[in-house]
Amino acid sequence: MTCMASSVLLLLLLLLFAGLSGSAFARLPPEARHSSVEIIIANVCHAYQILKRSGLKDENIIVFMYDDIAFNEENPRPGVIINNPNGSDVYHGVPKDYTGANVTVNNFFAVILGNRSALTGGSGKVVDSGPNDHIFIYYTDHGGPGVLGMPTPPQLYARDLNDVFYLEACDSGSNFDGLLPKGMNIYATTSTKPDARACDIHNPGTETLEQQYELIKVRTLNNNSDRGSHVMRFGDISLSQANLSLYIGANSTNTFVDQSEDYLWSPSQIINQRDADLFEKAPEGSPRKVEAQKQFVEAMSHRMHVDSSVKLIGALLFGIVKSDEMLNTVRPTGQPLVDDCDCLKAMVRTFETHCGSLSQYGMKHMRSFANICNAGIKRDQMDAASAQVCVSVPSGHYSSLENGFSAYTILYYTILYYT
C-alpha cells in the first residue's frame, strides 16, 4: 500500500517539452474527487522526481494534483508519499502549480495552449513552447472507454486530446484507438487495451520509447494472465526509435530507483484500479473501521445503482433480448469508440441529470453510452428512458447536484503541432 486512503481522488497529468534547442516543460494535474487511490498521486510525484534527476528545472515543470494525500489523517507517515513497497519519499519538493479545485479541464487546456487569460487560479504557469520543442505527456488517473477522470467535473473526453501521451488509466487505449490523425508526429503509449482496466503496478524506465514499451508490456502482463494490464501504442510508431532522454532529460545520474524497484507482485496484490479504494479502507480494529464500513456500504450501493440503471435504460431502448449485446459491443481495432463525441457527452449528461453522478466506477459504462449513440438513439429517447428508470436524483455523496456533471457542453479541440 503506497500511502493511505484519501477523501479526494487525484488526477495526474505530466506534459514534458524537451526541445533540441528549446526548453523543457512538464505538467502534472490531479484526478477525480471523493476517491482514495493513492497510486495516482504517487505516480505524479514519482514522475516529477525522475524529471528532476534528469536535469529539468522547476520553471519548466507544471504540476496538477489535488494534494490531499501527504497530510491526510490516514497517512501513517505524514508528509511522505511512496510509490512502491518500502520505497523512498517522492513527495518532497514537488511543485504545486494547480491544486484542489484548480485542477480542471479548462485549466488543463489553458496550460497546454499557453493561454494565461483562460486560467482560473493556480500559479499561472503555462507551456510556452516553440517549433524546436518536443512534447511528452504523462497522464495517470481513473478512466473509462473514451473518457479520462478529473478531480473536479467535467471529465476529459478522448476527442479533446491530440498530443504526445503516456497515459495510465482504465480503458486508456480507447482514447487513441482510431482517433489519431496521420502525419502529425504523434506517438502514444497507453497502460491498457481499449477495452481493459488498469492494474496498480509500479514501473519506471529509461530506454528508447520502443525499448520502454516492450519492457513495460512484458512486466505488466502478469504472466499473460487476465489480471494484468495490456500496454498499447498508437500513432506515429517511427517516433518510438527516439531516445526517451529527448523527452525527459539526459542526466546520466538519473537513477531514481528504490531498493525494492524489482519487487515482484503476486497475483493477490494486483487489483482492478477501480476497486483499489475499496480494497483496504482502514486497518482491522482501528477507530475508523466503523466509518470505513459505512463508506463501503455507500459505495457498493452506488455501484449497484449505476449498474442496474444502465442495464434498465438499455432494456428500454433496445429491448430485453438485444440490450446486453447492444450495450457491450466492442468495435474492431482501429475504429473509434464513438462516431459523435458530442452525442456521447450529451448521453452522459442526460443520464447524470436523472440518475446521479457516474463517479470513477461508472466510467466503465462509457462504452455503453457510446454504443447508444452509435445505434442512432436520440437525446429525447435517452431522456425519457433515464427519467423512467431513475425517478429521483440520488442525494449526498454521489449526487450530480452536489458534484456536477462528467460531461460538458463545449467541445474543445486541442491540436498541437511539433516537429
Q: Which residue among 34, 46, 142, 230 is the active-site one?
A: 142
Owner of C-alpha cell 440520488: 394
CA distance 138 to 154: 20
Whether residue 247 contacts residue 227, with contact meaning beta carbons closer than 8 Å, is answered with: no
Q: Which cell numbers in the block locate residue 26?
A: 512538464
Distances (CA, A) of 413 to 60, 161, 173: 24, 7, 19
Three-state secondary structure call for residue 93: coil
What is d(CA 58, CA 93) in angstroms, rounded to the nearest whole number? 10
Are 296 and 281 a contacting pair, CB within 8 Å? yes
Q: What residue type is assigned to position 412 of the chain?
A: Y
Going from the C-alpha of 29 to that of each of 62, 143, 221, the distances in angstroms are 8, 14, 27
Q: Beta partners for 139? A: 13, 167
Confirm if 157 and 56 have CB atoms less than 8 A apart.
Answer: no
Catalytic site residue from 3, 45, 170, 343 = 170
Give me the amino acid identity at 165: F
Residue indicated by cell numbers 473536479: 152
68 within 8 A of 8, measured Cβ to Cβ: yes
Q: Which residue has the cell 478531480?
A: 151
Say whether 170 is catalytic. Answer: yes
Q: Let me know if 142 is a catalytic residue.
A: yes
| Contact (CB, 8 A) for 68 and 6 | yes
Cell 519548466 -> residue: 60
* Residues designated catalytic: 142, 170
